[in-house]
């Protein structure tokens, strides 16, 4: 199963399961096949790259990073340009440039590398226009240490039911997405599979099935974002060390935050309003800390495995302002 099909399988199962939440446990939101947590190369042969206006500039962040292989580019359907002039050495008869000057020259030479909807990018990626991905994915990260600067622009997809992803991070480490900017109308605004060290901040994630979805990820940070109007705001499956902090979450229909089989993670200082479950952790999610959140006006504000005592899964609920919890006693003064 390639990465593209794996992505679709994961999300299709999640969304299909979500339809039965009204009559069953929200645990069903995170039902996966065994292959779902084993990310592989992308196969993005049906993305729309025809819109010449949908352009971002990509700049290799560090000269020592290995370039994206031709095999990876071919498998993912992305057209990635490279500028070999950055690797040419200075002629002996010319004065040798200072290290900062050399780096500036390399950045300038490499700035001609461009990407459109569905292409593979790496290094430093600067959005210079809105990406309107009418029939495909947004950005696919193809190398570690990639930084995506959204610069106030948006990435918009073909719809919540399209099986497309705004930013896909398949088994790539230390990726950063910096706002301001927005990700909307995808099945997942952000999809992490097997990634380590991801961070997204100051981004609006709206009108997706899932705002940020992580599976098999370590040390992902979702901080200071606006996450609204999705079916699920943030979903974590089989992940460790996640930090979901200081986000504004409003009107995410099924849940603001869900943890399934997620350990040693934190949910802190978020505002979560207007969901069926504000914060939900299943019975396999252990040793997590949920503290100092405002979780209000949800059907159930805090839900620990549909009423499982917290000493069973060692989750800690501290100083949360809320009205309803399952089991009772997880809210301040309640």
In a domain, 32, yes or no: no
pLDDT for the residue 24: 39
pLDDT for the residue 85: 35
pLDDT for the residue 142: 95
pLDDT for the residue 197: 97
Tokens for 293, please give them. 């959140």
In a domain, 182, yes or no: yes
* Residue 157, domain CATH: 2.160.20.10
In a domain, 208, yes or no: yes
Nearest to 186 by CA among 157, 212, 206, 210: 157
Asked whether 278 and 294 are in contact (CB, 8 A), the reply is no
Q: CA–CA separation, 93 vs 331, rounded Å?
A: 73
Domain limits for position 313: 55-63+71-77+103-326
- Helix (H) or strand (E) holding 249, with range, is strand 248-250
Q: Number of folded domains in the chain? A: 1
Asked whether 185 and 205 are in contact (CB, 8 A), the reply is no
Give, in degrees to the nearest 5, the angle at Cα 71 between 87 and 163.
120
In a domain, 48, yes or no: no
In a domain, 313, yes or no: yes
In a domain, 37, yes or no: no
Q: CA–CA separation, 36 vs 5, rounded Å?
A: 10
Asked whether 26 and 283 are in contact (CB, 8 A), the reply is no
In a domain, 159, yes or no: yes
In a domain, 44, yes or no: no
Least confident of 68-72, 139-143, 152-156: 68-72
Q: CA–CA separation, 102 vs 119, rounded Å?
A: 28
Burial class for 333, CB neighbours closer than 10 Å (0-12, 13-18, 19+): exposed
Most confident residue range from 22-26, 51-55, 272-276? 272-276
pTM of the predicted protein model: 0.73
Least confident of 70-79, 139-148, 230-239, 308-317: 70-79
């Amino acid at each position: 199963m390639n990465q593209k099909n794996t992505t679709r399988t994961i999300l299709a199962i999640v969304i299909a399961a979500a339809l039965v939440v009204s009559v069953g446990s929200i645990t069903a939101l995170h039902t996966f096949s065994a292959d779902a947590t084993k990310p592989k190369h992308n196969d993005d042969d049906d993305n729309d790259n025809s819109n010449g206006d949908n352009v971002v500039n990509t700049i290799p962040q560090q000269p020592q990073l290995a370039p994206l292989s031709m095999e990876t580019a071919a498998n993912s359907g992305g057209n990635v340009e490279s500028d070999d002039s950055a690797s040419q050495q200075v002629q002996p008869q010319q004065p040798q440039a200072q290290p900062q000057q050399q780096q500036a020259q390399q950045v300038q030479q490499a700035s001609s590398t461009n990407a459109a909807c569905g292409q593979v990018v790496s290094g430093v990626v600067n959005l210079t226009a809105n990406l309107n991905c009418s029939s495909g994915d947004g950005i696919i990260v193809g190398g570690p240490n990639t930084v995506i600067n959204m610069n106030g622009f948006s990435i918009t997809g073909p719809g919540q039911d399209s099986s497309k992803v705004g930013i896909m991070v398949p088994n790539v480490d230390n990726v950063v997405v910096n706002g301001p900017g927005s990700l909307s109308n995808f099945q997942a605004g952000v999809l992490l599979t097997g990634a380590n060290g991801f961070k997204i901040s100051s981004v609006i994630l709206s009108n997706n099935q899932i705002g940020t979805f992580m599976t098999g990820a370590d040390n992902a940070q979702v901080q200071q974002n606006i996450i609204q109007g999705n079916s699920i705001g943030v979903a974590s499956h089989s992940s460790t060390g996640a930090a979901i902090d200081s986000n504004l979450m409003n009107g995410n229909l099924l849940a603001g935050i869900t943890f399934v089989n997620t350990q040693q993670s934190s949910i802190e200082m978020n505002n979560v309003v207007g969901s069926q479950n504000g914060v939900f952790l299943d019975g396999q999610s252990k040793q997590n800390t949920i503290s100092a959140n405002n979780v209000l006006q949800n059907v159930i504000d805090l839900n620990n495995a549909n009423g499982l005592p917290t000493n069973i899964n060692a989750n800690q609920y501290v100083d949360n302002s809320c009205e309803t919890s399952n089991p009772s006693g997880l809210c301040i003064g309640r």
